[in-house]
Amino acid sequence: MMRVGLCGLGTVGSGLFNLFSNNGEEINRKTGDAPKLIQVGCRRDHPDCDLSTTSVTRDIFDVARNPDVDILVELIGGTDTAKDLVMEAINNGKHVVTANKALIALHGDEVFAAAAEKNVTVRFEAAIAGGIPIVKSIREGLAGNRIEWVAGIINGTSNFILSEMASPGSNRSFEDVLKEAQDLGYAEADPTFDVEGIDAAHKLTILASIAFGVPLSFSAIYTEGISAVTSADIRFADELGYRIRHLGIARRRTDGVELRVHPTLVAREQILAQVDGVMNAVMVGSDAAGATMYYGAGAGAGPTASAVMADIIDVSRTGTSLSDIGFVDLSETRFVPIEEIRTSYYLRLAVVDRPGVMAEVTSILSEHEVSIEALIQKDARPSDAQIVIVTNDILESEINDAIRQLQSLDEVTAAISRIRIADFR
């Protein structure tokens, strides 16, 4: 029987504690030998957990040093103390299960190297998309495939905000929507991590590593959050048949790997466009299975604890140091700069309403070989007119040049909105 020490009794920790209390029989039926929670390390008790029959320590490092603990579960979050804790547990020969995406994305190489040396395993299913078993799906269910791309809604808070902004008649403020995501246990302690795409980039870092075997490369990800998306963009996107979703995209190319996180126009009928609210969805394109999609709650006590428990059970069953990521070649991966992606774009320009402006705009676009697939022009008197354009597929560096030139026109009165368009099916 594997003996578990739990560090951290916040939202996820309390969810895990209660899974141990409530589902012990169910887990025993499946494993024949259910792992047992023998110690909890937490600064303070949690009102949802009855700790009266549990060994509790206020020093989480006691858990890492406890010779009776086989698996240390790290649910304290953050990267400094969490890293020290995990390293100490590994050095003491313990397996580690964590929900900490920042820790894995930023320090995973060091953590996995230490684990390999000590012949223990580090599991992190809960770090990506909460209750969705996406790590297991990629590493086990799709193990026989060459994965070509991964595209996901992997930040529930951003998706919730975009969905609310798009819902008819919703006049809720950004702060109000964010507060609800916080109450549901979704938002990060620092919600700029959600809104500016950092949380999604942490998750994409890990997804790309398990999908392609590339090194954990958070700094290689092009990251753009949702803070510049306006309700005008959402309305125009809708008029053109699209929804705006915040996606993490990883794609293999012959010349490297594309890694990007940004708001994206997705055609309304596509499945990713239909994922609303705080839900997450990850779509995986692979050579044999084709496109598969995984949907569910990306955070919260129950869903995240479910993923943590699955890892604990997995380690209990195998008891081995299965390779955690399975890197191929750490030195030769080329990460494709964002300027080298080729996609179509949504552009919105606020312009002075006078004859000849449209001609100037289209002439600049044609100089850059941009062709127009769709166009809306709205006279928004008494303020400026709006020109909204959907382009053909074009190199990002080329559209950047065109945008710079357009922006310098006297007739363009505000910063041009540019949102990439993507098609996953």
Residue ranges binding ligand HSE (CB under 6 A): 130, 155-157, 186-188, 194, 199, 298-299
Asked if the bond preceding 382 is cis, omega within 30° of 0, the reply is yes
Q: Which is nearer to ligand HSE, 194 or 233 (CB)?
A: 194
Cβ distance to ligand HSE smaller for residue 189 or 288: 189
Least separation in angstroms between residue 131's CB and ligand HSE is: 10
| CA within 13 Å, CB half, 67 | 0
Kindly give the interhelix angle for 198-212 and 101-118, rounded to the nearest 10 degrees.
40
Closest approach of Cβ 206 to ligand HSE, in Å?
11
Q: Each residue of 129-166: b (16+ CB within 10 Å) or e?
A: bbbbbbbbbbbebbeebebbbbbbbbbbbbbbbbbbbb
Smallest separation, CB 128 to ligand HSE (Å): 8
Given the complex with ligand HSE, which of 202 and 348 has the nearer CB atom? 202
Q: Which parts of 288-425 fold into alpha helices (H)?
A: 301-318, 357-367, 396-407
- The whole-angstrom separation of Cα 26 and Cα 302 is 16
What's the closest the beta carbon of residue 285 comes to ligand HSE, in angstroms? 22
For ligand HSE, give the closer residue by CB, 278 or 350.
278
Minimum CB separation of residue 214 from ligand HSE in Å reads 22
CB of 154 to ligand HSE, least distance (A): 7
Residue 134's φ and ψ, nearest 5 degrees, are: -80, -35
Catalytic residue among 94, 118, 203, 378: 203
Task: Name the residue among 400, 404, 393, 418 with its Cα closest to residue 263.
Answer: 418
Q: How far is CA 377 from CA 239, 380, 400, in A?
A: 12, 9, 22
- Write the single-letter amino acid at 164: E
- Tell me how far, at minimum, the Cβ of 301 lies from ligand HSE, in Å: 11
* Cα 336–Cα 225–Cα 181 angle in degrees, nearest 5: 135
| Amino acid (one-letter) located at 272 | L
Q: Which is nearer to ligand HSE, 275 or 351 (CB)?
A: 275
Residue nearer to ligand HSE on the CB measure, 27 or 177: 177
Cα atoms found within 13 Å of the Cα of residue 390, Cβ hemisphere only: 18
Determine contact, residues 195/225, Cβ cutoff 8 Å. Answer: yes
What is the helix (H) or strand (E) element at residue 181, kind and residue range?
Answer: helix 174-183
In this structure, what token pair is assigned to residue 51? 């700790």
Between strands 256-267 and 372-378, the pairing is unpaired
- For the bound state, the minimum distance from the C-beta of residue 280 to ligand HSE, rounded and expressed in Å, comes to 7
Q: Is 203 a catalytic residue?
A: yes
**Closer to ligand HSE at the Cβ: 199 or 314?**
199
| Residue 253 structure tokens | 């190319």
Instruction: Write down how long the chain is.
Output: 425
The tokens for 221 are 């990800």
Q: 384 near 414, Cβ under 8 Å?
A: yes
Q: Which is nearer to ligand HSE, 184 or 387 (CB)?
A: 184
Give catalytic residues, as residue numbers.
203
